[in-house]
Amino acid sequence: MIRIGQSTDIHPLVAGRPMILGGVKIESPVGLMGHSDADALVHAVAEAILGALALGDLGKYFPDTDERYHNMDSIKILTQVVAMMHERHYHIVNIDSMILLEKPKLAPYIDQMRANIAEALQTHIDNVSIKATRGEKLGFIGRQEGVVAQAVVLIERTEESID
């Protein structure tokens, strides 16, 4: 059995916070506001997995009202979601993701993001696609007010678990 999940995550950009995307600290004068480290890309991937499993959203498992998750490394959140996926006998086939951010350019960081996410997903890096694009000065992305990350995941039930 295969299942597909998709998600979008949005965070405002603010001064005084680090910009972390895909588990990589990005050189930037602004960062992402959020309860955890606000890694929008990792949040989108984790929530897409939850969606594929029909388990709801990240807020159900990692609420922003819970201090345990304050400034939490989002890769740890993804690792916990992957454990939930494995408990249900599924594994990643592939993910495709997109980051919408005006500045800075993300090309120098993409390979490390892919490696970080692949490791957390316990899959090969070739199963992880990350693309980035700008807002071309349009909307809140173009005005550098926020970031959007989107992810689509394909998961498959492992052979030994099929009834």
Q: What is the pLDDT of residues 32-91, one digit of tens each?
A: 998 889 999 999 999 999 999 999 998 898 878 877 777 789 999 999 999 999 999 999
d(CA 21, CA 41): 6
Nearest to 111 by CA among 46, 11, 21: 21
> Regarding beta strands 2-15 and 90-100, do their DSSP bridges make them parallel or antiparallel, or are they unpaired?
unpaired
CB atoms within 10 A of CB 131: 12
The pLDDT, as a whole number, for residue 160 is 63
CB atoms within 10 A of CB 116: 22
Is residue 49 a contact partner of residue 81, using CB atoms and an 8 Å limit? yes
Is residue 96 a contact partner of residue 45, using CB atoms and an 8 Å limit? no
pLDDT in tens, 114-157: 999 999 999 999 999 999 999 999 999 999 999 999 999 999 99
Which sign, positive or negative, has the C-alpha torsion 117, 97, 31, 63?
Answer: negative
Is the domain 2-161 a CATH 3.40.1010.10 member? no
Q: pTM for this one?
A: 0.93
